Amino acid sequence: MSLNHEEIETLIAVVETGSFRAAGAKLHKAQSSISYSIKKIETDLQIKILNRDGHKTVLTEAGKVVYNKALAIQKINREISSFSSSLADGVESKINFVASAITPTVVLMEIFKEFNAEFPQTSIELKFITYEDPTELLVTGDADIVISSYKTPVEQTERFKWNKVEFMPVAAAGHQATNPGLTEEDLHNFTYLVVGGRNTLAKKMPRSQVENLNVWHITDFLIKKELLVNGLGWGYMPKQIIKRELAEGQLVKVPAKNTLVKELDIIRKRTNYYGKASQYLWQLLLKYCNNINPKPRPIDFAKAKVAWEDIAGTKMTP
């Protein structure tokens, strides 16, 4: 035997108000109707739920179990109602969000807190990618919004400059790579820790040069940081990830190399429809722009495409 919605609401009202009369007033029903509903529940379940002690009703031990279950069902019913109302109102149930692993998480968490307060029924499926281009997932439909440092133009997307990440060449204090008298050529004698290994370096320098380096392939920045702190090589790290280690002197800058800055863009598909939650999240991302563009402007993809083809020496296919 199961309780219907009306019976659940009646039982909860009686317990919360303490009497049939007060429950009737709360639910805008006659006291006799409340009394009938409780009697029916007890008859159907074949247990006594309430003891009537004068003017006050008190739950029996069995009634406490039924009441707690009724509260749980009421909560689920209300969540379902809120969820269905949100969908009917154009609010998505889930947003696929993919970000580069170098994305400043402090900023991102502030955005997600604000988003969750406004759209608690919308979940975010969050994925961080270490050394691949998150933009590719927009094309395959596996992402709704991405944060990427890759500048490859992608058709039918809109992109805004969003944040900057400072990359510092570092090694453990006392490591030979931190010697002020070394040149860039000298660094080739030491282990170079690279997230993505030689495949990553091959995108930035001639493969013949890459093959001559002693490169360790690392899968993520946290492992790379541990290797650096333990003196197992040198490499570039996002400054926000190694702030504590720099402050404590565990890691120091490699003098022979310059600090680099990578720009992060926020990107989404061009479409005529975005749900309210996606629109709100997009506006929050624009709100938290790190002064790269005081008034964010979309990238001119026609110019970007021509520039990319000039660099790559090949035509892009749609």
pLDDT in tens, 215-229: 999 989 999 999 999
Q: What is the pLDDT of residue 130?
A: 87
Render 229-244 in DSSP notation, one character per residue.
HTTS-EEEEEGGGSHH
Torsion of CA 140, 146, 148, 154, to 10 degrees: 40
Q: What is the pLDDT of residue 75?
A: 84
What lies within 8 Å, CB to CB, of 127 at 6+ separation is 96, 97, 98, 99, 143
CB 171 within 8 A of CB 195: no
Full pLDDT tens readout for the chain, 318 residues: 678 889 999 999 999 998 898 999 989 899 999 999 999 999 999 999 998 766 678 899 999 999 999 999 988 887 777 666 556 667 888 899 999 999 999 889 999 999 999 999 899 999 999 878 888 888 778 899 999 998 888 878 899 999 999 999 999 999 999 999 999 889 989 999 999 888 778 777 777 677 778 899 998 999 999 999 999 999 999 999 999 999 999 999 999 999 999 999 999 988 756 788 999 999 999 988 754 444 444 445 455 445 445 544 444 443
Domains of the chain, first to last: 5-88 (1.10.10.10), 94-163+264-312 (3.40.190.10), 165-261 (3.40.190.290)
Question: What confidence tens digit (pLDDT) does each residue in 133-154 have?
Answer: 888 888 778 899 999 998 888 8
The b-or-e profile of 55-65 (16+ CB within 10 A means b, else e) is eebebeeebee
Q: Are strands 56-59 and 251-253 parallel, antiparallel or unpaired?
A: unpaired
For the record, the structure tokens of 75 come out as 């909560």
Q: What is the pLDDT of residue 273?
A: 67
Q: What is the pLDDT of residue 92?
A: 86
